[in-house]
Amino acid sequence: MADNKGLRVNEQIRVREVRLIDDEGEQKGIVPTLEALKLAREKELDLVEIAPTANPPVCKILDYGKYRFEMEKKLRDSKKKQKLLKLKEIRMQPKIGSGDLDFKSKHVKEFLAEGNKVKVTVRFRGRELAHTELGLVVLDEVLKRLDEEYVLEKPAAMEGRFMSMTLAPKPKK
């Protein structure tokens, strides 16, 4: 009955002695493992190794099923509190029209407002690669239309045939 977190239970504990904490949370001191197992069985509970790296390992007498359930519940709750940041990408070309640029900038604004990071990419095709400065002009134009609602995480840089920059939402106060 090995736990996925590496906790050893009952007979899996193969050390001579352990530092024991009983089911009421009281320190019992250093006790031979067999005696600790016997105490756990008398109370119809399990002996669980909670600090395997300590010397001697710390073991506690408790209901293992209930303990595992509580730990999984804590893990689920901590995952709920995490905010998943998505990276959205907006692609354009160096010869983009002003109306299209407004439209794409509006989308960038919406993504940032939702709390997502945005990667703005300009794709160069064929002979356009000879004029990468046009891509820089387009990316600067996007920044001008955003009204300081962003944090520039990665400034404009060439990556093969693409020039891109990464924006993150401004941290909320």
Distances from the Cα of 53 to the Cαs of 31, 35, 59, 80, 120, in angstroms? 17, 21, 11, 30, 48
- Assess whether pLDDT exceeds 70 at residue 105: yes
pLDDT band at 15 (very low <50, low <70, confident <90, very high): confident
- 83-101: pLDDT as tens digits: 777 889 999 999 999 999 9
Distances from the Cα of 97 to the Cαs of 101, 156, 159, in angstroms? 6, 20, 23
Q: State residue 56's pLDDT score.
A: 87
From 82, 60, 64, 84, select the one nearest 72 (Cα to Cα). 64
- All structural domains of the chain, each given as residue ranges with its CATH number in brackets, are 10-81 (3.10.20.80), 87-169 (3.30.110.10)
- 108-133: pLDDT as tens digits: 999 888 888 999 999 999 898 888 89
Q: What is the pTM of this model?
A: 0.53
- Measured in Å, how far apart are the chain's first and last C-alpha atoms? 47
